[in-house]
Structure 1
């Protein structure tokens, strides 16, 4: 296992296939291996247990073999399509959110589709989404089927509010922009009404100054990356969803303050995940090399 590995939450659904394609693109670009992780909760009564798997009663060895064959075929097909990318598959038992959180400690990136079936049913709706994005030990990328196909170009967009999580997100976004050879668009959402009638020009200048310091070191480290910093009036979710229209990737921290407070704990985060028109990366912490 490697902290550079890309793990894909895979359940055989159409959205999981889109997430896998995105992960393969990322792996081919970065030289990382890919692991398909199929996670589901076995039922203790007769019922459906997974895509392409006949109903059974746990423990059902035949159903288990069907799942393993499904994952084996998916991994083999992915490897055949991208021969330069090492691809393998694993089957895990347990609550999907908990298992994915645990597996994320072994990876450099976790990639999920926005919808699934079987063990991933409702994966990114409600409490499961909060658990995966708020507690993963590596960045999580959520790929929407209706946004992935058009997200092959454009800038990398990152929301920054000065919180520790948003600064981690900024670093992740800069590195992705450098790898993609794409421009970086750094946004700070500002709601004028929250300033109690402060002078708009002075408030905007103060917000813009708050972006200059964290950007300075990244400009020095990656001088070849075109970086544009903007203070945009409006609600954070609306600002970022709008920016996603021509973006390659939108990056946010898992928890912010000010304009990004609760970004992935309430309605704002749900809006971004559900309505962004390109893949969304959520950064809570960065992966650590094994042994640290």
Structure 2
């Protein structure tokens, strides 16, 4: 592991590596450990980044010396956070580049996503000067990053061999124990092109890990909130149509990933709840940044936001992007009509 505090190659630019944001919280430590394992699996460099801002009251103080001292103190705190993170990586055969950045944590990581292969953050963090890795970061970053973003909840620590992370004092050990993890990658789809992009990314994740892929489409229950529906919905007919579309989508995905075992599941239930439940036992859950809305749900709108806040395992959010493989989907069978 490179232990010097360097800005990395190419004059400080990230080049196709994995970037993980740390702030000293248990959540960011879980993100760090997961990112390190992923960097080792991919043989990719790991950029460990912390960010800080100078408080407005200090920066605007009439006493210029006060602002300077305050900046130095806060930067030293950020350096301590970074050093503690690096100590977690000692002994690992990784190419590591530590970085301290000045600025809003979400903005810093968004900028780095322009060149990164993967961004990794915790599902929430400590707040304060060093930065927050949820509210601002793990809400804003997945929706706007230029590369996929993995959001790692603190309970993932047990999977990584650190069950003490995130455990509340006095909580029963058995009640805090995570569910057994199935060797499977799960992707949530809703018929949108964004979901098809996510399914391609999920299939690649499954292929690279040597795991099967489970494709889930959930149908939310119709209740009083859907009183605008102009006529009674025939759920049996809806399920039959969706089953045909899912089968066609599976055949399309299988044509691009013939070596991956792919299954599809059509599930009744609110999309966010279905995917959160799946995250408890899957190796990785993959979602898109947004979806079509309506009956089958949205993937980042309400569904992906709900999943990110409450997931029980790692979630990979895939941004919308052009992919030539999307062009031949229609030749495999019916698709959900796209909004105009």
Fold equivalence (TM over 0.5): yes
Which position in structure 2 is the counterpart of 1:6? 18
What CA deviation, in whole Å up to 9, does each residue of 1:14-58 have, x standing for no partner? 2111101101111111111110111122224469xxxxxxxx844
Q: Tell me the equivalent position of 1:257.
A: 292
Q: 1:105 Cα deviation (Å)?
A: 0.7
Q: Match of 1:112, SS? A: strand
Q: 1:81 to 1:17 in 2, by over 3 A?
A: farther
SS of corresponding position for 2:183: coil
Alpha-carbon distance in structure 1 between the residues aligned to 2:280 and 2:232? 31
Number of the residue aligned with 1:82: 92
The answer on whether the counterparts of 2:120 and 2:150 sit within 8 Å (CA) in structure 1 is yes
* Equivalent pair of 2:218/2:269 in contact (CA under 8 Å): yes
Distance 1:141 1:232 in 2: 25
Pairing partner for 2:314 from 259, 279, 287: 279
Confirm or deny: 8 A CA contact 1:6 1:35 kept in the other structure.
Answer: yes
Counterparts of 1:198 and 1:287, CA distance in 2: 34
Report what 2:147 is aligned to.
138
Among 10, 30, 41, the alignment partner of 1:29 is 41
Matched-pair contact (CA < 8 Å) for 1:114–1:143: yes
2:121–2:138 contact (8 Å) kept in structure 1: no
Count of aligned pairs: 276
Q: Which runs of 5+ in 2 are unaligned?
A: 1-12, 60-65, 160-179, 324-340
Within-5 A mapping of 1:209-220:
209-220=244-255
What is the match of residue 108 of structure 1? 117
Give me the CA root mean square deviation.
2.7
**Shift in alpha-carbon separation, 1:81–1:119, aligned structure 2, 3 A:** farther
Return the alpha-carbon distance in structure 1 between the equivalents of residues 130 and 193 of structure 2: 30
SS in structure 2 of the partner of residue 81 of structure 1: coil
Distance 1:261 1:189, change over 3 A: closer
Superposed, 1:199-210 pairs within 5 Å as: 199-210=234-245
Do 1:11 and 1:119's aligned partners in 2 also have CA atoms closer than 8 Å? no
CA distance in 2, matches of 1:204, 1:234: 13
Q: Secondary structure at the match of 2:308?
A: helix
Aligned residue for 1:60?
A: 71
Q: Secondary structure at the match of 2:280?
A: helix
Q: Which residue of 2 aligns with 1:181?
A: 210
Offset of residue 75 of structure 1? 3.1
Q: Name the CA distance, whole Å, in 2 between partners of 1:107 and 1:253.
A: 18
Q: Which moved more, 1:205-214 or 1:221-230?
A: 205-214
* TM superposition score normalised by structure 2: 0.72
Structure 2 distance, partners of 1:286, 1:86, is 29
- Does the CA-based 8 Å contact 2:189-2:196 persist in structure 1? yes
Deviates more, 1:146-155 or 1:98-107: 146-155
CA change 1:38–1:122 in 2 (3 A) is closer
Deviation at 1:124, TM superposition (A): 1.9
Unaligned runs of 5+ in 1: 48-55
- Give the drift of 1:281: 1.0
* Closer/same/farther in 2, CA of residues 287 and 138 from structure 1, 3 Å limit: farther
Could you give the per-residue CA deviations for residues 166-220 of structure 1, whole angstroms, max 9, x where no partner exists? 1121111111111121111101111352675433332112112222333323312
